[in-house]
């Protein structure tokens, strides 16, 4: 699997297929993504946005065609109460947050039909910090029992929040999954902290939030030069910059195009030029 290896020795592909908002199409689209060649899947125990059970169904049906569990990288998330729909909370809303994390993870294993996930991600920081660490310690318990090979955090846009988590955690976060967009200054400070602390940065909203970049003359010219699409150029730029993008495309054509990105390499000058229109 070509891609990234974290400090926990976990290998991740260079791009991950995201399964949000696909509802009853989830199973078919995940099967299409696996057929196209995706080796990594992102989901969450959050029925409001993800059908985690159908992700599990898709992986199971693909196993019948020879896919082994270890051939595929799976990450799921614990979503705190604030991110759940009150009608579909996948754990006891009155339980302590420590127990909610454990219950949510049991549900994820049942949905995904696996006894471990490669990464377990907290969907967003929890405040106050003491509650955050209580939830994180439940994730550490899951890690120690072998339920997750590493842990991650998402939607964490303040460097001091990530630094504090990193300092207080016994099992340090290995992944940060954030929206990659102009309003957060593309997380420059956070990403510097990630590089120093060996945390892999994953991006979402990568295409949706960056139409102005994709439609710039620079990206258009580079796309023409390599005979690639504008999203392919942007994904390649991110990858060569140490960022792992997620894609949730519903188009089989786009799935194929997204996976062809490793066929070419941008020059140092091109990377610097794209940097200069982003920052
Ligand atoms: N942690 C979080 O809170 C969080 C939040 C949001 C998302 N996520 C994760 O990230 C995944 C991706 O979500 P996203 O927000 O980045 O958006 P997305 O679902 O990937 O949507 C991106 C848009 O780009 C288009 N697209 C994708 N590949 C393309 C290509 N090669 N050429 C042209 N257009 C292309 C898609 O259209 P087509 O379908 O037509 O290709 C779609 O309209 C989600 O499924 C989820 O797993 C996580």
Q: pLDDT digits over 117-131, tens only?
A: 999 999 999 999 999
Residue 237's pLDDT is what?
98
149-153 average pLDDT score: 98
Residue 63's pLDDT is 84
Question: Is the per-residue pLDDT at 60 higher than 90?
Answer: yes
Whether 272 maps to a domain, the answer reads no
pLDDT of 73 above 80? yes
Residue 47: pLDDT above 70?
yes
Q: Which two three-digit tokens encode residue 271?
A: 């990377």
Task: Give domain status of residue 40, yes or no.
Answer: yes
For residue 16, the model assigns a pLDDT of: 98
Best substitution site from 33, 207, 220, 229 to test ligand 1's pocket, by max atoms within 8 Å of Cβ? 207
Is the whole-model pTM more than 0.95?
A: yes
pLDDT interval class at 145 (50, 70, 90): very high
**Looking at ligand 1, which residue's alpha carbon is closest to its atom 31?**
254
What is the rounded average pLDDT of the residues 12-18?
98
Beta bridge partners of 75: 42, 119
CATH number at residue 175: 3.20.20.100
Strand partners, 65: none
Q: Separation of 50 CA from ligand 1 center, angstroms? A: 13
pLDDT grade for 66, boundaries at 50, 70 and 90? confident
What local confidence, expressed as pLDDT, does residue 13 receive?
97
Asked if the structure places residue 275 within a domain, the reply is no
Look at residue 259 and tell me if it is in a domain.
yes
User: Is 77 or 66 the better-scoring residue by pLDDT?
Assistant: 77
Asked if residues 41 and 118 have their Cβ atoms less than 8 Å apart, the reply is: no
Please give the pLDDT value at position 1.
Answer: 52
Q: Where residue 226 falls among pLDDT bands split at 50, 70, 90?
A: very high
Domain span at 89? 3-209+244-266
Residues β-bridged to residue 151: 120
Q: What percent of the chain has pLDDT over 90?
A: 96
Which pLDDT band holds residue 64 (cuts at 50, 70, 90)? confident
- Give me ligand 1 centre to Cα 175, in Å: 19
Average pLDDT over residues 82-94: 98
Query: Does the residue 13 lie in any domain?
Result: yes
| Burial class (CB within 10 angstroms; exposed 0-12, middle 13-18, buried 19+) of 125 | buried
Instruction: pLDDT band for 279, please (50, 70, 90 cuts).
Output: confident
In a domain, 215, yes or no: no
Any residues with Cβ below 6 Å from ligand 1, and which?
A: 18-20, 42, 123, 154-155, 177, 204-208, 229, 231, 246-251, 254, 257-258
What's the domain count of the chain? 1
Residue 238 lies inside a defined structural domain of this protein: no
- The per-residue pLDDT for 101 is 99
Average pLDDT over residues 204-217: 97
Asked if residue 193 is part of any domain, the answer here is yes
Which residue's CA lies nearest to atom 30 of ligand 1?
Answer: 254
Is it the case that residue 147 has pLDDT exceeding 60? yes
Q: Give residue 207 CA to ligand 1 midpoint distance, Å.
A: 7
Residue pair 60/113 in contact (Cβ under 8 Å)? The answer is yes
Average pLDDT (103-128) is 98
For the chain, the DSSP string reads: --EEE-TT--EEESSEEE-BT-GGGHHHHHHHHHHHT--EEE--B-TTTB-HHHHHHHHHHHHTTT--GGGSEEEEEE--GGGS-TT--SS-TTS-HHHHHHHHHHHHHHHHT-S-EEEEEESS--SSHHHHHHHHHHHHHHHHTTSEEEEEEES---HHHHHHHHHH-SS---EEEEE--GGGGGGHHHHHHHHHHT-EEEEESTTGGGHHHHTSHHHHHHHHHHT--HHHHHHHHHHHTTEEEEE----HHHHHHHHGGGGS---HHHHHHHHHHH-
What local confidence, expressed as pLDDT, does residue 2 receive? Answer: 72
Please state, rounded to an integer, the average pLDDT across all residues of the chain. 97
Res. 84: pLDDT tops 80: yes
Q: How far is the CA of 249 from the centre of ligand 1 (A)?
A: 5
pLDDT at residue 209, rounded to an integer:
97
**Average confidence (pLDDT) over 150-155:** 98
């Amino acid at each position: 699997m070509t891609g990234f290896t974290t400090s926990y020795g976990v290998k991740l592909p260079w791009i991950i297929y995201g399964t949000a908002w696909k509802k009853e199409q989830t199973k078919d689209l995940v099967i299409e993504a696996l057929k196209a060649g995706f080796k990594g899947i992102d989901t969450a125990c959050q029925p409001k946005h993800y059908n985690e059970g159908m992700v599990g169904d898709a992986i199971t049906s693909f196993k019948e065609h020879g896919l082994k569990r270890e051939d595929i990288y799976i990450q799921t998330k614990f979503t705190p109460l604030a991110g759940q729909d009150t009608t579909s909370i996948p754990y006891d809303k009155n339980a302590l947050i420590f127990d909610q994390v454990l219950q949510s993870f049991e549900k994820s294993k049942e949905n995904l039909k696996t006894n471990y996930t490669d990464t377990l991600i907290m969907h967003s920081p929890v405040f106050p910090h003491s509650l955050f660490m209580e939830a994180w310690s439940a994730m550490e318990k899951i890690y120690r029992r072998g339920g997750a090979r590493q842990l991650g955090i998402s939607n964490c846009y303040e460097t001091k929040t990530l630094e504090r988590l990193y300092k207080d955690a016994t099992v340090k976060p290995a992944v940060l999954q954030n929206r990659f967009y102009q309003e957060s200054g593309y997380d420059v400070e956070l990403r510097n902290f990630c590089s120093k602390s060996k945390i892999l940065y994953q991006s979402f909203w990568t295409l949706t939030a960056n139409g102005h970049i994709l439609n710039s003359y620079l990206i258009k010219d580079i796309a023409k030069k390599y005979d690639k699409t504008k999203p392919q150029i942007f994904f390649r730029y991110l990858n060569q910059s140490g960022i792992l993008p997620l894609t949730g495309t519903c188009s089989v054509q786009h799935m194929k195009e997204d996976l062809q990105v490793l066929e070419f390499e941008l020059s140092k000058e091109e990377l610097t030029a794209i940097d200069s229109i982003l920052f």
